């Protein structure tokens, strides 16, 4: 996604955060939320990758312990013509992966323990190529910033509920319109956070699949990996939040009603079909 679309999305997120602040604290709350949003947007640009990695307790992999993974990353980086990204490990058995970083110079490929145990070299190579295509295309900037801001929206909504219950706006505002406004915010803000995930176009996943297949030399490895990951999703649950689900190569929330209704990922069957034709 280009910088213009990124800017529009950040403006929409900022407006939503300011609206939440106004519902909780009136004009003063809106001003506080505005200042907070400015700080958060700047911080998200520079630190969103670190925040997301911290959310999943990811740690950088020692090359001496994972030499094959580093060999694959070096090979794909050379084929893609980008700097070699750092490699991080999530200590969870659910097989999945994502990429982060605001630019190719700051790229990070993050994989779970489960995906290393499940995939063979060719399949892992396909997954790494997919994620590094996101890095090369700079999809990772908006993906990680969106994850952080959407998570913040959900946090503020929860804080607003407690504020309304135990203090905050005066009784006049909490009666009548204030209660209606709080109810509307409690429904609309989480819905907006989910729709933000849909703003990350599904076409970016198709694009990363196609580009990944090209730099990997074949789409077969990624197609086989997607098939395995899709079959394993119901058996292995990744402890992931809906606000960050769009980061992963396959939907970590697959199988739930909400995941199906607001899926940020194209159907795996269609992705495999396209890869086999490539």
Active site residues: 131
- 163 Cβ contact list (under 8 Å, min separation 6): 24, 169
- 3-state secondary structure string, 100-147? ECCCHHHCEEEEEHHHHHHCCHHHHHHHHHHHHHHHHCCHHHHHHHHH
Pairing of strands 86-90, 108-112: parallel
Pairing of strands 86-90, 97-100: unpaired
Residue with tokens 């703003």: 199
Q: How far apart are CA 143 and CA 110, in angstroms?
A: 14
């Amino acid at each position: 996604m280009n910088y213009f679309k990124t800017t529009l999305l950040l403006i929409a997120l900022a407006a939503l955060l300011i609206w939440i602040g106004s519902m909780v604290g009136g004009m003063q709350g809106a001003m506080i939320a505005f200042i907070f949003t400015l700080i958060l947007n700047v911080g998200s640009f520079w630190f969103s990758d670190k925040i997301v990695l911290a959310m999943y307790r990811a740690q950088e992999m020692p090359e001496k312990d994972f030499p094959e993974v580093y060999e694959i990353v070096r090979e794909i980086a050379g084929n893609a013509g980008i700097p070699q990204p750092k490699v991080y490990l999530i200590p969870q058995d659910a097989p999945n992966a994502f990429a982060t970083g605001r630019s190719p110079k700051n790229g990070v490929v993050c994989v779970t323990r489960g995906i290393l145990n499940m995939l063979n070299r060719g399949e892992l190579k396909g997954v790494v190529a997919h994620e590094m295509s996101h890095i090369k295309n700079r999809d990772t900037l908006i993906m990680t910033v969106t994850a952080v801001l959407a998570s913040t929206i959900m946090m503020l909504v929860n804080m607003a509920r407690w504020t309304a219950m135990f203090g905050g706006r005066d009784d006049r505002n909490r009666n009548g319109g204030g209660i209606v406004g709080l109810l509307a915010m409690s429904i609309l803000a989480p819905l907006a956070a989910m729709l933000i995930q849909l703003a990350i176009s599904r076409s970016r996943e198709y694009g990363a699949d196609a580009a990944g297949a090209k730099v990997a030399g074949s789409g077969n490895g990624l197609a086989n990996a997607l098939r395995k990951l899709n079959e394993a999703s119901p058996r292995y649950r990744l402890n992931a939040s809906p606000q960050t689900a769009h980061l992963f190569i396959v939907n970590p929330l697959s199988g739930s009603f909400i995941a199906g209704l607001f899926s940020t990922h194209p159907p795996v069957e269609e992705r495999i079909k396209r890869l086999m034709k490539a």
